[in-house]
Amino acid sequence: MKLRGWTSWIGVVACVSCGTSTVDGGGGLDVNGDSSADVGLEDAFFSDAAGTDTSSDSPGGPEVITTDHCSSATAGDGTYCAASFSPVPPDAASLDHVLFTCKGNHIAKWVTCDGGCNPVKPGKDTCAPVISCGDGACNGGETCKTCAQDCGTCPDPCAGAFAGDGVYCGASLKPASPDINTLYTCKGKKTASSDTCTYGCFVAPTGTADFCKSKPTTGTLGKGVWVWKFDASAPSAQQVAIDAQTMGIGFVLIKTGQDLSSYDTNFNASIVAEFTSRGIEVYGWPYVTPGNNAAKAAVIAKAAKIPGVSGIILDVEVEFVKHDADALELCDEIRKQAPGVFLGYTTFGWISYHLDFPFEAFDQACGDAFLPQTYWDLWSTTTPAKSYTTAVKDAANLGLKAPMWAAQDNEMDPTAADMNAFFAVAGPRASLWRWPASDSDPQFAKMQKLNWKN
């Protein structure tokens, strides 16, 4: 790992303007740039490190360590990933391969983890194992498809053809296939043939054959924008629709309600028509928490059935942590009460820091689209492009299959150039949170400079 710059903390002096120096796994820092023995900062400050340091840059590893993060070690002495400090430091993303040992709320030592830092529990974090196919362990992002040597041969998805011979989406099989957008023809509990559904697989009612969805015919000309409340945090629906059409926005995501509350004045047939009449797709987004899932699904299904609605994107966040069963039940209930609904979800954009969230459950049951909240302008140590590529990498490591429609935000007044940089890498279904309160808002002027058209 290369370490650029040093600072002074806890009475230990470190260079902030010297050239790049290399931390070697043993011994001290070669401050002089030669092989002579120096008074080792590592010996004095980061001594007795347990783990694996590297002698070259680690992907995602820190370039600069300038703060004693152990001042935020709220669980006392022990080992911490950056994400386990409270509050999480703004440079946590660049420290995702570092394991700190804290004593008395100061850094006693640190190591670079080749496999990344594993946030088990504050004070008891570890280096994650280095994962490779052929090491005898089916772990990390390995699956039977990517590493049969460690994970074994994949079972035939059609073994889950519970209704006999026929055509099934991956999500219809029991257990569901991870390839939810694959259409399987099953005979005798074995796959006779399969096809990848480019635009998603339609889950039909039991007893009716599933099928691949057709290519969308509207809203394909531009990226999307989120709307919270018309006539409050955004102008009127008509004004937003007119401006969206002028800018070339392809789809809008409008709040439909929260749990059992339906925002009927914010999401109704008249408002939907303002957009669809201009060739703009409309998706509803409710904020949902676990519990009472059938009743909440009924409210969501009602919104999904409004004429012209292209689909529903569930806003599911911290309340769903460790609620995998609720995630599956909620999605299944919505699909049951609104057959054929396009159903996606939005949640944390830093996937690897929220592994107790049921990403896999929502991916399996609500995975027509995944809209990670890649709010790079709130993460001071990343860039627009890196925020997206990190989300893609983390999703792949978890084996998530849903098409990614990444969302950025304008809460911290980012520049139009930076927002366009995100759109350039995030693809045609990227979106922006959120529409500003009025046309006089400085963010509205920036929105007019964005490359909405695909």
Coil, strand or helix at 325? helix
Token pair for 239: 């004004």
Residue 139 inside a domain? The answer is: no
Region 15-21 average pLDDT = 31
- Strand segments (E) across 113-262: 117-118, 126-127, 166-169, 182-187, 190-196, 201-202, 211-212, 224-227, 251-258, 261-262
Total of domains in the chain: 3
The model's confidence at residue 158, banded by pLDDT at 50, 70 and 90, is very high
Residue 452 inside a domain? The answer is: no
Looking at residue 281, its pLDDT comes to 94
The model's confidence at residue 32, banded by pLDDT at 50, 70 and 90, is very low
Percent of the residues in the chain that have a pLDDT greater than 90, as a whole number = 56
Residue 140 inside a domain? The answer is: no
- The residue that leads in pLDDT, 226 or 438, is 226
CA distance 255 to 312: 10
Q: Are residues 203 and 232 in the same domain?
A: no
- pLDDT of 348-361, one tens digit each? 998 999 999 999 99
Do the beta carbons of residue 445 and residue 416 sit within 8 Å? no
- The residue that leads in pLDDT, 26 or 179, is 179
Percent of the residues in the chain that have a pLDDT greater than 70, as a whole number = 82
- pLDDT of 209-255, one tens digit each? 888 876 554 445 799 999 999 999 999 999 999 999 999 999 999 99
Does the pLDDT value for residue 277 go beyond 90? Answer: no
Do the beta carbons of residue 346 and residue 316 sit within 8 Å? yes
* Structural domain span for residue 396: 224-447
Looking at residue 10, its pLDDT comes to 32
Considering only 57-61, 139-143, 178-182, 234-238, which range has the smallest mean pLDDT? 57-61
- Strand segments (E) across 228-275: 251-258, 261-262
Looking at residue 180, its pLDDT comes to 79
Region 418-423 average pLDDT = 95
List C-alpha distances in Å: 191 to 80, 154, 177, 201, 202.
Answer: 47, 12, 12, 17, 18
Does the pLDDT value for residue 6 go beyond 50? Answer: no
Residue 143 inside a domain? The answer is: no
List C-alpha distances in Å: 78 to 73, 102, 210, 218.
Answer: 8, 5, 53, 55
Does the pLDDT value for residue 31 go beyond 60? Answer: no
- Residue 315 sits in a domain of what CATH number? 3.20.20.80
Do the beta carbons of residue 312 and residue 286 sit within 8 Å? yes
Q: Are residues 108 and 179 in the same domain?
A: no
Q: Are residues 197 and 271 in the same domain?
A: no
Q: Are residues 296 and 429 in the same domain?
A: yes
Which bin fits 121, alpha (ψ -120 to 50), beta or left (φ > 0)? beta
Region 64-91 average pLDDT = 86
Residue 219 inside a domain? The answer is: no
Region 246-267 average pLDDT = 95
Mean pLDDT of the chain: 82
- pLDDT of 285-325, one tens digit each? 999 999 999 999 999 999 999 999 999 999 999 999 999 99
Considering only 40-54, 208-222, 262-276, which range has the smallest mean pLDDT? 40-54
Q: Are residues 202 and 246 in the same domain?
A: no
Q: Are residues 353 and 441 in the same domain?
A: yes
Token pair for 247: 């800018």
From 167, 190, 212, the end of a domain falls on: 212
DSSP state of 247: H
Looking at residue 60, its pLDDT comes to 35
Region 128-132 average pLDDT = 76
Looking at residue 54, its pLDDT comes to 35
Q: Are residues 273 and 371 in the same domain?
A: yes
Looking at residue 140, its pLDDT comes to 62
Looking at residue 65, its pLDDT comes to 62
Residue 390 host element (H or E) = helix 384-398
Looking at residue 24, its pLDDT comes to 30
List C-alpha distances in Å: 408 to 60, 225, 259, 346, 402.
Answer: 21, 10, 24, 12, 18
Q: Are residues 195 and 232 in the same domain?
A: no
Considering only 3-7, 337-341, 343-347, 388-392, which range has the smallest mean pLDDT? 3-7
Looking at residue 96, its pLDDT comes to 82
Considering only 2-11, 51-60, 199-208, 217-226, which range has the smallest mean pLDDT? 2-11
Q: Are residues 196 and 73 in the same domain?
A: no
Short-list 223, 274, 287, CA closest to 432: 223
From 130, 159, 185, the end of a domain falls on: 130
Short-list 139, 177, 138, CA closest to 155: 177
Residue 135 inside a domain? The answer is: no
The model's confidence at residue 181, banded by pLDDT at 50, 70 and 90, is confident
The model's confidence at residue 384, banded by pLDDT at 50, 70 and 90, is very high
Does the pLDDT value for residue 64 go beyond 80? Answer: no
CA distance 7 to 13: 6
- The residue that leads in pLDDT, 409 or 115, is 409
Q: Are residues 37 and 64 in the same domain?
A: yes
Region 377-406 average pLDDT = 89
- Strand segments (E) across 188-342: 190-196, 201-202, 211-212, 224-227, 251-258, 261-262, 281-287, 309-315
Looking at residue 141, its pLDDT comes to 60
Do the beta carbons of residue 200 and residue 187 sit within 8 Å? no
Looking at residue 13, its pLDDT comes to 31
Residue 187 inside a domain? The answer is: yes
Token pair for 130: 């280095």
Q: Are residues 370 and 410 in the same domain?
A: yes
Q: Are residues 63 and 177 in the same domain?
A: no
DSSP state of 10: T
Q: Give Dmax over CA atoms of the chain in angstroms.
A: 77
Does the pLDDT value for residue 448 go beyond 70? Answer: yes
- The residue that leads in pLDDT, 9 or 184, is 184
From 130, 165, 184, the end of a domain falls on: 130
Residue 34 inside a domain? The answer is: yes
